[in-house]
Structure 1
Amino acid sequence: MAQHTYPPDEQFRFSLLKSMYDPAIQMYRDDQIVIVRERKPKASIHYLMLPHEAIDTARDLRPHHIPLLRHMLQKGNEFADEFVRPHTHYPVILGFHTIATFIRLHMHIISTDFNGPGGETSGDYREFVHRELWVEPDRAIYLLEREGRIPVNEELCRSIKLSPTEPMPCYFCKERFIYIPKLQKHLMTHEEELHRKDQAFKTDCRYCRPVPMFFKRNKRLFLSAAVAGMVVSGASIVSKMF
């Protein structure tokens, strides 16, 4: 794939390439990807996953990259299960920015409290919640299979990201805010509710084994499995009685 040429005043956009090889922030590495801590986190927990293959941004993805994206999705969820989800009550999301500041494709692994020291502007927040600015890896795979690329309306995306008056919806209740400090303060009010729901879901019954991470991400499937487990356990009890 032909790589883009960037002027000297945009060389800062290549700083992620240095981060890939910085042992101080590197968390995981295999033959296809590397995971590093975000130097300017937009949330309390924020990591980046980058491929070794030289892909500039999500707009440069093509159908032959689908196996790589599937690997990134798998490893991203495995990493989140071990290093992110156990340390936050907030949901964890994985995805790419459609309009990326830095060169080298990178997938964000981020908690949705959006209360990190790097989240200084409304644009920093909108990049993670607006559908025009954010694409999940499974949606990226779908678009590549269907359209052969990830369509991006650059003019629309930039107007959304840079708008000083476009309200920002809360990630959870959709209440809208203009100023990022008020939004961040509001997001913190959801922590107690999320903690309560998280604890209720993790509560085990005498018929169920401890909840695997796979089911934590697929709660509907977990409930079905739990019901099935109760039926099986009940049948075992009845069989012993007779």
Structure 2
Amino acid sequence: MRGWRGLGNTMRACWLVSKDGRHQPIHLAHLTCVFIGRSQETKITDKKCSRQQVQLKADYNKGYVLVKQLGINPSNVNSEDVGKDKEVKLKPGQILHIVNQLYPYTIQFAEESSEIKKLSPKRSYEEISSNSNSSTLNKYIKTEHSSPRDLERKKEKTKQRQTVTQVNSAEMSEKKDFQRMWNQGLKVTMQDPKFQIYKDDTVVVIKDKYPKARFHWLVLPLEPISSLKAVRENHLNLLQHMNKVGEKLVQECQDSKALKFRLGYHAIPSMSHLHLHVISQDFESPCLKTKKHWNSFNTDYFLESKDVLEMMEQDGKVTVKDGVSELLKITLTCHVCRQQLSTIPQLKEHLKKHFP
């Protein structure tokens, strides 16, 4: 039994410690997924924090915890966004903010004496302060045997954990169902006449349900094409038509003289069914909330329609560069003057100078 138990007469333990002392440390078992988010255990009530905001998996051999962001709003390790469905390593001394730079945590690895374990197999841990270190953690191991009342409490806690596990499993299933519904949402919306603002024999135009600017339309082909990856040489005429329809929308917009527009596609779209974005460059919208939203339209993650057409004419297909998803994480930068901003609220306030 070498490996995570280590050598000699000690075995390691890992704890997730709240730096603001909101609750007792949470034990992270070796290579076991633990979900942290809005719950009674963490005492986090912020609705921007998902009930399963992050997944943590401690690796006792390697001395770090893998952090995977599951929630929509950003989680951070040392002020860097983790990214939706991405994993990063959390090492001792680094700080994990559960959501929106809030609710700071650190991890602590500690050695547990096997001699103490033999003397007291039913030990428990008292509350540990946020600045505890590995040696401090060991001071809280109780060596006396548990009382009958303690045993009853532990049984009740075990039942509660089992209930939480069942609830978490149900929530995960619901989340997957929701993601599938969300992914297919465009196909439903584009077929609903009340959302259509233009339609011909080839394409349909709808308003984006969650616009990221004053004017934000989507041009979708009636032909079932999942994304740019599915586009082939024979689709060139279709893409050219989609571009012409997009340009016509801009020309007929009353504010087209005052505002600039861009036409393009996301390199890796979040929703199934090919769609061309036609979006004004003011980016004035309450639906623009995250760094991901901004960078998806203001980096090379946004493929200009004219560039896509040029690739199709030359190569008969559209090529997306490797690692393009990393562009969603870069620093917020104004698309007009290139000034860098720290947060979306700061960026929106800054944009008022360019778009009063």
Whether TM exceeds 0.5 here: the answer is: yes
Secondary structure in structure 2 of the residue aligned to 1:24: helix
Q: How does 1:148-159 map to 2 (within 5 A)?
A: 148-154=316-322, 156-159=323-326
Please list the CA deviations of residues 85-112 of structure 1 after superposition, one character each: whole Å capped at 9, or x if unmatched.
44x7221111110110001100111111
Question: Who is 1:80 aligned against?
Answer: 250
Q: How does 1:191-210 map to 2 (within 5 A)?
A: 191-192=355-356
Within the candidate set 327, 332, 340, 1:168 is matched to 332
Residue 240 of structure 2 is aligned to residue 70 of structure 1: yes
Query: Structure 2 counterpart of 1:188, which letter?
Result: K
Query: Structure 2 counterpart of 1:159, which letter?
Result: E
The answer to whether the 8 A contact 1:38-1:46 is kept is: yes
Residue 309 of structure 2 is aligned to residue 141 of structure 1: yes
Q: CA RMSD in A?
A: 1.8
Secondary structure in structure 1 of the residue aligned to 2:205: strand
**Percentage identity across paired residues of the two chains:** 29
Query: Structure 2 counterpart of 1:185, which letter?
Result: E
Q: From the two aligned structures, give the one with the greater helix fraction.
A: 1
Q: How big is the shift at 1:33?
A: 0.5
Q: How does 1:90-101 map to 2 (within 5 A)?
A: 90-101=259-270
State the distance in 1 between where 2:346 and 2:184 align: 33
Q: How big is the shift at 1:153?
A: 3.2
Q: Which runs of 5+ in 1 are unaligned?
A: 1-6, 193-242
Question: Who is 2:345 aligned against?
Answer: 181
Q: How does 1:29-68 map to 2 (within 5 A)?
A: 29-68=199-238
Within the candidate set 284, 291, 311, 1:115 is matched to 284
Within the candidate set 175, 178, 182, 1:12 is matched to 182
Query: With structure 2 as the length reference, what TM-score do the two structures score?
Result: 0.48
Secondary structure in structure 2 of the residue aligned to 1:53: coil
State the distance in 2 between where 1:67 and 1:147 align: 14
The answer to whether the 8 A contact 1:144-1:150 is kept is: yes
Question: Rg larger in 1 or in 2?
Answer: 2
Poorly superposed stretches of 4+, deviation over 4 Å: none
Q: How big is the shift at 1:118?
A: 1.6
* Distance change >3 Å, CA 85–CA 64, structure 1 → 2: farther
State the distance in 2 between where 1:54 and 1:81 align: 28
Question: Who is 1:231 aligned against?
Answer: none
Secondary structure in structure 2 of the residue aligned to 1:110: strand
* Greater relative CO, 1 or 2 (CA 8 Å, sep 6+): 1
State the distance in 1 between where 2:246 and 2:206 align: 12
Q: How many residues are paired up?
A: 180
Q: How big is the shift at 1:84?
A: 5.7
Query: With structure 1 as the length reference, what TM-score do the two structures score?
Result: 0.69
Q: Which runs of 5+ in 2 are unaligned?
A: 1-175
Q: From the two aligned structures, give the one with the greater strand fraction.
A: 2
Secondary structure in structure 1 of the residue aligned to 2:194: coil
Query: Structure 2 counterpart of 1:66, which letter?
Result: L
State the distance in 2 between where 1:62 and 1:180 align: 37
The answer to whether the 8 A contact 1:91-1:112 is kept is: yes
Structure 1 stretch 95-104 or stretch 145-154: which is displaced more? 145-154
State the distance in 1 between where 2:291 and 2:281 align: 15
The answer to whether the 8 A contact 2:219-2:245 is kept is: no
Question: Who is 2:195 aligned against?
Answer: 25
Secondary structure in structure 1 of the residue aligned to 2:225: coil
* Distance change >3 Å, CA 71–CA 13, structure 1 → 2: same
Query: Structure 2 counterpart of 1:49, which letter?
Result: V
Please list the CA deviations of residues 169-210 of structure 1 after superposition, one character each: whole Å capped at 9, or x if unmatched.
211111112311111221121125xxxxxxxxxxxxxxxxxx
State the distance in 2 between where 1:187 and 1:56 align: 34
